[in-house]
Structure 1
Amino acid sequence: MATPRYLTAQKISLLVLTRLYCSSTLPSSATIPVLSFILSNSIPAVSSSARARHSSVLSQHEGSFSIDAFEDVLQEHASSMPGRTLLDLFLKHMWEMNSFDALHDLFDNLKKLVDPPPPGTPEAEAEAPDRIYLSQTSPLGAFVRRARLEFTRLQFDDAMKLWSSFIKYRAPTAQWTKRLAGLASGGVDVVVSEMGLMAGDDVYEVAYGHLEAQDEEGEGTSLEDLDRILDFQLDRLQRFGDRVPASMKTQLRSMVSSSGLVHRQAHLVQFFDAWKAGDYTSAFDNLHRYYDYAMQTREKIHYQYALLHMAILQADFGCFGEAIAAINETIATARENQDMTCLSFSLSWLNHMAKAYPKQMKGAGYMSMLGSERDALTFLKAKAKETKMYHLLSASLLNEAKLCLATGDSIPRALEHIYQSSHLNVKENINSYGSQMLLTSTLYSRLGIPHLANVHCELLLDCYEHYCPLDESIRAIGRRAFIMSQSGRYEEAIAVLESMDPTVHKSLKFHQYLILCIGLMKFKRAIRRSDWQTCTHLLATLKPSTDASFPPLDPELSYLQHEAYIDYLSSRGQYSQAFTAISALAQSLRSDNADILQRISVLLMQADLWRKVGKPERGFSVALRAASVSFRARLGPSLWTAVGLLGNILNSLGEYGSARRLVEGVLPQALEGADNMLSGILYSHLADSYMGLANPAPQPNASSPSNSPPSSTPSSSPTSVRTRSANIAKAELYIDRARECFKKSGYLDGECEQLMKKAIIAKLRGDEKLAEEWAQNHNRVWEEGMRLIGGEI
């Protein structure tokens, strides 16, 4: 059966229900359910996203609902006839259409629903007082008028096919109630029964013999319903970024092919699906087909959106020169057509690309047409308010909050922008909760409160997963995994990423993102375990690219690649290569005006490298500058790391008392951050400070009063002996705590280093046996770590 243009068996049933609503008195409790059911299945919805919130996969396509849907709506409501429900009246009207001629009578009588008789005429007086007439401009009136018009346009063969599909659609209701025994006994057609025809007769087979063999694929779906299905898929693809499920793709392909027409939306659905799959060749082909067909049908309003999609696709492919040319043409066309929506979105996307890929955009010759980033955001906010584009206004507020964080501006100001965006989301019903939650999580992570950062990621995944794009959900899962890895739970973090829905890997971009996240965590774990064989194997994939013209797979993870690579070089003792990599990264971040957090992290890498090469005094000014900027920008973890480096440098210079005060000042806040690696480092530096204070030799800044008598030995007094013993005891306490933190974080070298410190302290006390035990523990822990690595390999 060819796909009908508009009328289907479902719509005929809706017309029967509409006539029942107008001609019968319905109970007040049934009015709203009946009207809602008719309108939701007859009037095209404004947006299909509401249904997407309740189900992640469209299990049943729009417009093609079974006859059971009528039973669910009508069977619970009583009718004006005693002992009868609305379902009984509905089935009575359905089975009273017992011939092809009765179907024509139904459509002929539809005119009476929208054209009331003139007042004073006999027809008007004969009508019941509670009879309802539909306005021709109302949604129900428009539905009735269009159905009647479409039926008059049908040729005889198409009308017979429509009648046959209605017979098959109505057939299951014959067994619902005993009251239909008389009406349903006539079979499919009363005329056939009166003529005495039966299955097997030639006339019967010509008229109704095809009912049993009728193809059910796409049955009950009109061309209009198919357009609505395709619009739903487009809305899903554009809003959530996922791909069409395989089962739905098969159904769409069969419905589109059976319709015998070229559907413009079908090419766009194929474009998005190929794009998300990484099949750029097919994506380009389907995009050209879609907009070539649009131009042939003179729908030139879509031209600027063609260019916009082309620009986004070119940028995703890495061709930034072509993307800039396409987006400039988009902006010019949108201005010419006065399409402010497309213009504002194009400028917002261009601003985002200039921030995410600064090197590639500059290399392609991009020059900002809106001035600085702050000026661009101010312009976009003003235009969004003028045109009441609240979605763009909310996104601009979030981008302004990101800018405050990236430049080290006031944290309260960033929170103010976030709260303004949140208020706008609630007031105007804007579903941008995902980006808001991710930005709030980033803010708390910078403040050094990973618990709240993790809570906001969980809130996004538990409460707003069906409201936000798939990209944001994946990033929330990735951020949760990185928070777990900070506390040393690498296996749990990797398991979280590996246990994601396999359908996510159908998109090339998401697949690459997950593989990169898992690889970085395994790389960090291998560095902590001194598993250099695994590190060498992972470097083939994770080593950052030095080609500025080649865009990174993900801008957010690109810096983490550089950071992990520098950590690997310094851990292997390749200090010259590490210094070169740090210098190149610092120059790149400076030229790109990168995030202040990244630039401070580079300063900390440089200061730590000077410490490792035995020249801590050269890193003092670097660490001091990093601490000053971190304190001003309220970057908690960076501040604690910088103060720890300053304490280590002061220890190496003999300023043990100052180092102790610095480290003790930040250690409680660092413990709240739940970063076991950082806590272990601070405990280790604090233990070194107490060991330095226990040194019987005089401190560099210690001076005795001029009138005090000289002592024969600095350690001869009982007070100094007790103080030295207390300092050594505290040093041992903090060494044990540092060893426990390093064990939790999986840092094998750090754990062994603390064991060696315990052996040295025991040897200085003269306890050779205890020193030997600690040395054996050192060897045992190292051998167990190597055995664990060998077992995993």
Structure 2
Amino acid sequence: MARYLTPSKVGLLVLVVLYASEEVPTSESIAVLDFIITYISPKARSAKRGSDDNLHDHARAVDVRSIPEASLGDRLRTFARRSYGGATNIAAQIESQIVHEREVGIAAEEQTARIIRTSPLGAFIRRCHLEYTRMQFQDATALWQQLIVYRAQSRQQYERRNPPSQSHPLDSNLTAFGIDASHDLVRIMYGQTLSSTGKAELYSLYDVKALLEFQVSEMQSSGSRMPEDMRQKLTEMSEDGSTLPLTHYLTFLDSWRAGDYTSAFDNLHRYFDYTMQSRDRSFYQYALLNLAILQADFGCASEAIPAMQEAIATARENKDTTCLNFCMSWLYHFGRTFPSDMKVIQDSGILGNETEGLAFLKSRAKDAEMWSLLSTSLLSEAKLGLQHGSTLLIRASAFSRLGLGSLAWSNSETFLSCCAPHAPVEDVLKCICRVAGFLAQRGRYSAVTETLQSVPKATLRILKYQNYLQFYSSLLKLRLLIRHNDLDTARRIATQLQGQDPPDIENSFFLAFSQIELSMAEGNLSKALEIVEETAQRAVSNNNDIIVYTRLLNLKARILAASNNALSLFSIVVRAAQLAYRSLCLPALWEAIGLLANLLNVLGEHNAALELLNAIVPRVLECHDCELAAITYRYLVDAEIGLAGLEKSNKTRRKEWVNRAVDHLDSAGKMYGFAEDMKGQLEVLYRKSMIMKWQGDLVLANDVASKYLEVKKKFGEMRV
């Protein structure tokens, strides 16, 4: 395979010469220049990639039939039929002409050539000339033979428009020597090219390397796997003998995304073994960096940390600031994700505490002008600030914490609509799962299924992301089964999820919360309390988000309330409310205030409970959480029924409180219906039926009782 020059590049070179010789019509000069620049400039090709799917092939051959002017195409074919020396010495002629004009002092505007040395065309000409002068004789002969095969594709079309001349169609020099195709010299020179089965090489090592580098950068930036058409193209190139060491690195990335640890490990070693053959240790630290990331991604933290420490030591030894900054950034994020595995690093004091580590990474990224690392560091700083309730830069998460469900939803939808094509695959997947979670809170379960099915198929080809989607989908299904009161199926799914490795720390806590709710639904309050304590200890060791603590405190308060031990939950609820208020986790704050109002109802302080609930109901509705809204309405009904019971002498006032309670019962039932909460709906219908009986409206009470039986039958059929 040629190093740089191919028949297609010779064709481009001839086209450049025709343009420089002013043989291109003025009306077509822009189109011709656009055609040339598209094939010699990677930046121009990547800019047009969105409008032409074929432009991702950097080594695509030149088709002379696509030249805009017919006469220019014929001129190109005529030029290409000259002898090899005439076709490839064009670059040298233009080079010498430019040098001569500079030496004699011809001004730039007076020069005959329209190609400047520093222009893309000038750089292309100089590269072709340099490669031609460096070619061995056998390589030059092979290129000429390939050019003959390449131009044979348009031979018939050319001869139909231009009658054959006296010159030989293979080489004009043969006519000068008086030699025909039967001569021995012709058979030696053009033996393979005379047959109809000859195939021109369309790619050079330079093209293949550029294609591989482009594909590696795409896979690294988006985190996706190799497209199928690109896989087939690389297979064709490897069959032509164009395998480069970078191919092993590309296979390593694809195997890594596919979850094939063995192949990824082997190809990583294979690639860096090739790079070490020249005794070049300049990239050894990157081999260790990739090895550490690979092992960490497959759960081998004990092997990943020593590899990363060695990568840091090697990067310092080689004074590679870029690699060192990447290593330090990886250590910080690994410590945030798996704090229990980072005890050795934390004790060594390499990064200090979290704030010092981020300050160090930001300063080093600015000094090295590594803007992507600086962006990552700033984003990590925003997440750290968000966990302490002071910085709200991640909008969707921030609005969700603030209880503004509509804004959280709109930001996620905006991201998926506008930024998804250019965002990393992992971010898109997590955003889709977040949208599905918002839909589940609103009770739109049919839309949840459609949203989860909208994940791109290319993303699901990556094992890690496929596992993430399956785990999150199972969690949503688990919560729905708990609300349907299908506890046997829910227990089986919870057991299966517990046996798996959660994809991240957030989903592991989501699973723990679901297990607590399942135990409460089963009536096993002691087990639910044990899970709360275990999860709290795990949250402390992982230095997790403040919202986890507030959620655990609220769950503990609900367990104590369910066990008729309401008086002991006062301090817990107040502490949860204080933490939620300080960190601006408003949905957790409204839940804690609702639990406090429920405690006041138990103590007979119905007026105080009503004031608290009336203050938070509008904010609760802004959260778009059906379950939270239903529970809040239920507490409000308890307060109003309690106040009705206090109005013993004023029957009119008592009736007003009861009517308000019935209205809020209907609202609670509506919310429980959206959430598909069976127990909640049955409880609401039971209480409404009892109120109707107390008011003496037996017909309406019977209607409510019939609805009670319908709901019970409906969920029974769903379980079947």
TM-score (norm 2): 0.91
Select which of 224, 234, 237 maps to 2:219.
Answer: 237
1:403-453: per-residue Cα shift (whole Å, max 9, x none)? 111112x2xxx24xx4xxxxxxxxxxxxxxxxxxxx321111111122222
- 2:637 matched residue in structure 1: 687
Amino acid in structure 2 at the alignment position of 1:369: I
- The CA distance in 2 between the partners of 1:448 and 1:175, in whole Å, is 73
Q: CA deviation at 1:342?
A: 1.2
Q: 2: CA distance between counterparts of 1:47 and 1:586?
A: 55
Give the equivalent residue in structure 1 for 2:380: 399
Following superposition, the deviation at residue 789 of structure 1 comes to 2.3
Give, in whole Å, the separation in 2 of the partners of 1:480 and 1:273.
Answer: 28
Matched, 1:93 2:76: yes
Partner of 2:661: 731
1:433 match: none
Query: How far apart, CA to CA, are the structure 2 residues paired with 1:159 and 1:783?
Result: 85
Report the CA distance shift for 1:52/1:288 in structure 2 as closer, same or farther (over 3 A): farther
Aligned residues between the structures: 715
CA contact (8 A) 1:7 1:222 kept: yes
- Given candidates 542, 548, 552, the residue that maps to 1:598 is 548
Structure 1 match to 2:596: 646
User: Separation in 2 of the partners of 1:723 and 1:461?
Assistant: 52
Aligned to 1:581: 531
| 2:198 corresponds to which of 214, 224, 233 | 214
Q: CA deviation at 1:504?
A: 2.0
**2: CA distance, partners of 1:4 / 1:511:** 41
Distance in 1 (CA, whole Å) between partners of 2:320 and 2:109 is: 52
Q: 1:254 to 1:25 in 2, by over 3 A?
A: closer
Counterpart position of 1:317: 298
Conserved? CA contact 2:366–2:374, under 8 Å: yes
1:752 is aligned to 2:682? yes
Residue pair 2:45, 2:55 contacting (<8 A) in 1 also: no
The superposition leaves residues 95-147 of structure 1 with CA deviations (integer Å, 9 ceiling, x where unpaired) of 23324x2x3112223212112278799x999x996521655565433432332
Shift, 1:47, TM fit: 11
Cα distance change on mapping 1:781 and 1:185 into 2, 3 Å: farther
> Which structure 2 residues correspond to residues 162-181 of structure 1 after superposition, within 5 A?
162-171=143-152, 173=154, 180-181=161-162
CA displacement 1:541-584 (0-9 Å, x = unmatched): 22277xxxxx6322231111111111111111111110000001
Distance 1:49 1:320, change over 3 A: farther
Q: Are the equivalent residues in 1 in contact too, given 2:11–2:62 (CA < 8 A)? A: no
State the one-letter code of the partner of 1:732: V
CA deviation map 1:684-730 (0-9, x unaligned): 11111100100047xxxxxxxxxxxxxxxx41xxxx21110000000
Q: Deviations over 1:737-769 (max 9, x none)?
A: 100110011111100100000111122223444
User: Which segment is superposed worse, 157-166 or 654-663?
Assistant: 157-166
The equivalent residue for 2:522 is 572
Residue 5 of structure 2 aligns with which residue? 7
Q: Tell me which residue corresponds to 2:256.
A: 275
Q: Distance in 1 between matches of 2:460 and 2:609?
A: 50
Residue 521 of structure 1 pairs with residue 476 of structure 2: yes
**Distance in 2 between the 1:47 and 1:320 partners?**
43
Task: Give the deviation of 1:672 after TM superposition.
Answer: 1.7
Moved more, 494-503 or 442-451: 494-503
Unaligned runs of 5+ in 1: 76-84, 419-438, 546-550, 698-713
Q: What is aligned with 1:371? A: 352
Q: Which residue does 2:40 correspond to in 1?
A: 42
Distance 1:473 1:559 in 2: 21
Letter in 1 for 2:661: A
**Kept in 2: contact 1:9–1:166 (CA 8 A):** yes
Q: Which residue of 1 aligns with 2:57?
A: 61
Give runs of aligned pairs for residues 443-462 of structure 1, distance below 5 A.
443-462=398-417
Please tell me whether the aligned partners of residues 58 and 210 of structure 2 are also in contact (alpha carbons under 8 angstroms): yes
Q: What letter matches 1:639 in structure 2? A: L
CA contact (8 A) 2:150 2:199 kept: no
1:298-319 per-position Cα deviation (integer Å, ceiling 9, x unaligned): 3322111111111111111222
C-alpha distance in structure 1 between counterparts of 2:156 and 2:629, whole Å: 74
Query: CA distance change for structure 1 residues 267 and 178 in 2, over 3 Å: closer, same or farther?
Result: closer
Match of 2:21 in 1: 23
Instruction: Tell me, yes or no, if the aligned pair for 2:38 and 2:45 is still in contact at 8 Å.
Output: no
Q: Compared with structure 1, are the counterparts of its residues 109 and 764 closer, same or farther at alpha carbon in structure 2 (3 Å cutoff)? A: closer
Aligned to 1:110: 91
Identical pairs, percent? 34
Residue ranges of structure 2 left out of the alignment (5+ in a row): none
Task: Give how far 1:34 is off.
Answer: 4.4
Post-superposition offset of 1:179: 9.5
Q: Deviations over 1:360-401 (max 9, x none)?
A: 333887654221111111111112222222222221111111
Find the aligned partners of 2:166 and 2:495 in 1 and give their Cα distance.
Answer: 76
SS at match of 1:603: helix
Match of 2:563, as an amino acid? V
Separation (CA, whole Å) in 2 of partners of 1:660 and 1:562: 32
Provide the C-alpha distance between the structure 2 equivalents of 1:185 and 1:477, rounded to a whole number of angstroms: 69
Q: Tell me the CA shift for residue 36 of structure 1.
A: 5.2
How far 1:249 moved relative to its partner? 1.7
Against the structure 1 CA distance between its residues 250 and 63, is the aligned structure 2 distance closer, same or farther, given a 3 Å change threshold? closer
The answer (yes or no) to whether the contact 1:114–1:135 under 8 Å persists in 2 is no
Structure 2 distance, partners of 1:316, 1:784, is 45
* Helix, strand or coil at the partner of 2:366: helix
Match of 1:421 in 2: none
- In the alignment, structure 1 residue 305 sits paired with structure 2 residue 286: yes
Whether contact under 8 Å (1:321, 1:364) holds in the other structure is no
1:370·1:376 contact (CA, 8 Å) conserved in 2?
yes
Seen in structure 2, the aligned counterparts of structure 1 residues 564 and 212 have a Cα distance that, compared at 3 Å, is farther
Query: Conserved in 2, the CA contact under 8 Å of 1:351 and 1:376?
Result: yes
